[in-house]
Amino acid sequence: MKKTMPFYPLQRLALSCSLIIFIALSGCSTPPKHPEKGLKVPASKSAEYVELLKSTPPPQLKAEDLETLSDIELELQTAKAQQQAEWPNFILLNHQLWQTASDSGQAQIEQRIWDAISQQPLAEIKKTIQILKKNPNTSVQQWGELLAILKGSAEDLHKKLKRLNESNSDAIYMSHLLPGFTMQNIYVPPPKQIAVLLPFEGKYEQVANQIKTGMMKAFMASDQRVLLRFYDASALDEIEQVYQKAKLEGADFVIGPLRKEAIERLLTTADENVLALNHIGYAPFTQFSYKSADEVTQLIRHFKANHYQNIGILSSDSKANSKIAHAIQNAWLQTEGHSAVLSTYPNHKPKLRQALGDLINEKASTERYNTLRWATGHKLKFFPRPRQDFDAIVIIDSNARMAVFKPQFAFFELNTPIYGTSQLSPKKLQKIKVNRDLAGVKFLAHPVAFQPKDLNSNFEAFGWDSFQVATQLHNLRFGGYLAQGKTGELTLKDQQIKQNLIWATYDKKGRLVPLIE
């Protein structure tokens, strides 16, 4: 009689066969590749690990390694080092090329090094200075010292260069680069008499008087070697005559006018020793606007440094706020993988809670609840579950409206970082109020907010800075900056004074403090 095999041995046999086949196939398959050193870190890695890899400096090139490279190999390595901003290696590679170059070739190499390290944003230049100065190679340190002088604080530039000539006489930039600048171009004496053209009557009277007060306070804090004289520039049809009168009375530098229409009247003068206090586009003289900070660029740089990808933007539909909001959105979307959702609300009679709800898709959450309630036929416990994928939310509006928005984040259980603009920077410097409603909000502010001393308003701070720029413009033209500006770190680019603001926040007690991250 034929015996029937029990089921469980058959099951065991099938399992054994499957295991044998799997092992055989595994042995024939290509083993998984392990990530190689230097490859791009997968997205699954933590932000800390990515930051560690990014911040790890490249190995220092050795002299014996450089000597074995041909000129072609040196050029290729130089281009790679510049592309990756490996400035110590970039300098060492160029130094090796410089040794065998002709006289004109040496001049080009010196200029190439200088152009590469000096044509960076101010924040990157500061980092580069520290990196070069801390490098063990003397040649690299020398470039750090040159960069610190010519792109550092504009004060006492002539004295600093004199000391550099004495201490770094063997630096290669002493051969062509620095002599090419010439001491005559570097040192231009500051003005002896400054004329200030402001509209002391009419619509701009209060602003003009605040600017004047700020200038006088800066003058009193200076060595007072310059003569400061004020002229009324209220009448537009008399601007040219007022300017000519100031020049005839000995002014070798002019600050003002303030209004755009008045500035346009002086375009034909082509006087480079004019500091206009507004911006009208191209002009043959320097322009310094009260709002000359590039907040969008500073925000974008900050977001990238924090590895953000998805941002939300809330803004009123006012012309000024909408302009900033769209500029942030467009700038952020320039980078692949970034997303930026913009939600606007009426500037007149705004519904702020609804505006935030629209940004975080509160409506979609409510619709899902209604669908479930209809499908089950029961009333369910409900709390809106909005989108949680924003890395940051920027709110472009006044501090009063920001104070209304802020509690809504707690209601929706949102832990997303909140950012504002310089609109949140205090206006009354001697009466900065405690504001607990803005605790934790990050924004760009004028430095004067932290050390106002005897300055009462931001327009007074602007007047203070205008005087400083006028007396230091000759040094700013050479690439330096004013580190102690009241409205920001001040630099000159394309005939325009630019403000670099500082990051601020309100602490848990509602006190205004510098942001430290």
What's the pLDDT score for residue 9? 40
Counts for the chain of helices (H) and strands (E), in that order: 20, 14
- Say what the pLDDT of residue 149 is: 87
Model confidence at 450, pLDDT cuts 50, 70, 90, reads very high
pTM over 0.85: no
Return the pLDDT at 8. Answer: 37
- Tens digits of per-residue pLDDT, 115-142? 999 888 888 888 999 999 999 999 999 9
Instruction: Check whether 265 has a pLDDT greater than 90.
Output: yes
For the cut 80, the answer to whether the pLDDT of residue 437 exceeds it is: yes
pLDDT tens column, 333-369 = 999 999 999 999 999 888 887 888 888 775 555 555 4
Mean pLDDT, residues 374-379: 60
Task: Write the DSSP symbol of residue 196.
Answer: E
pLDDT in tens, 292-327: 999 999 999 999 999 999 999 999 999 999 999 999
Angle, helix 122-134 to helix 138-150, in steps of 10 degrees: 150
Strands (E) across 373-474 are located at 392-396, 418-419, 442-445
Mean pLDDT value across residues 176-196:
78
Q: Does the domain at residues 189-287 carry the CATH identifier 3.40.720.10?
A: no
Which one-letter DSSP state was computed for residue 119? Answer: S
pLDDT band at 33 (very low <50, low <70, confident <90, very high): very low
Say which residue, 180 or 332, is predicted with more confidence. Answer: 332
Per-residue pLDDT at 236: 94
Dump pLDDT digits (tens) for 190-220.
899 999 999 999 999 999 999 999 999 999 9
Average of per-residue pLDDT across 255-271? 93
pLDDT band with cut points at 50, 70 and 90 for residue 405: confident
Per domain, the residue ranges of the chain are 60-186, 189-287, 295-359+391-455+503-514
For the stretch 99-117, pLDDT in tens is 989 999 999 999 999 999 9
Name the residue with higher pLDDT: 117 or 64. Answer: 117
Comparing C-alpha atoms, which of 56, 1, 157, 189 is closest to residue 478? 157
Most confident of 19-28, 121-130, 450-459: 450-459
Which residue would you say has higher pLDDT here, 36 or 392?
A: 392
Going by their DSSP bridges, the two strands 502-506 and 227-232 should be labelled as unpaired
Q: Is 22 exposed, middle or buried (0-12, 13-18, 19+ CB in 10 A)?
A: exposed
Share of the chain above pLDDT 70, in %: 80
| DSSP code at position 422 | G
Residues of the chain with pLDDT > 90, as a percent, come to 57
Average pLDDT, the chain: 83
**Is there a contact between 112 and 79 (Cβ–Cβ < 8 Å)?**
no
Q: Is the pLDDT of residue 4 over 80?
A: no
The distance in angstroms from the start CA to the end CA of the chain is 85
**CATH superfamily for domain 295-359+391-455+503-514:** Response regulator (3.40.50.2300)
* 8 Å CB contact between 497 and 280: no
Q: What is the maximum span of the chain, computed from C-alpha positions, in angstroms?
A: 133
Same CATH fold assignment for domains 189-287 and 295-359+391-455+503-514? yes
Contact 186, 158 (CB under 8 A): yes
Could you tell me if 246 and 197 are in contact, meaning their C-beta atoms sit under 8 angstroms apart? yes
pLDDT computed for residue 322 by the predictor: 95
- The pLDDT score that the predictor gives to residue 60 is 56
The span from the CA of 238 to the CA of 75, in Å, is 60
Helices (H), 387-446: 399-411
- What angle do helix axes 138-150 and 157-167 make, rounded to 10 degrees? 170
Residue 459 near residue 207 (C-beta atoms within 8 A): yes
The mean per-residue pLDDT over the stretch 170-181 comes to 88
pLDDT surpassing 80 at residue 6: no
Distances, alpha carbon 453 to alpha carbons 15, 47, 425, 500, in Å: 83, 41, 16, 20
- In the predicted structure, residue 376 carries a pLDDT above the cut 80: no
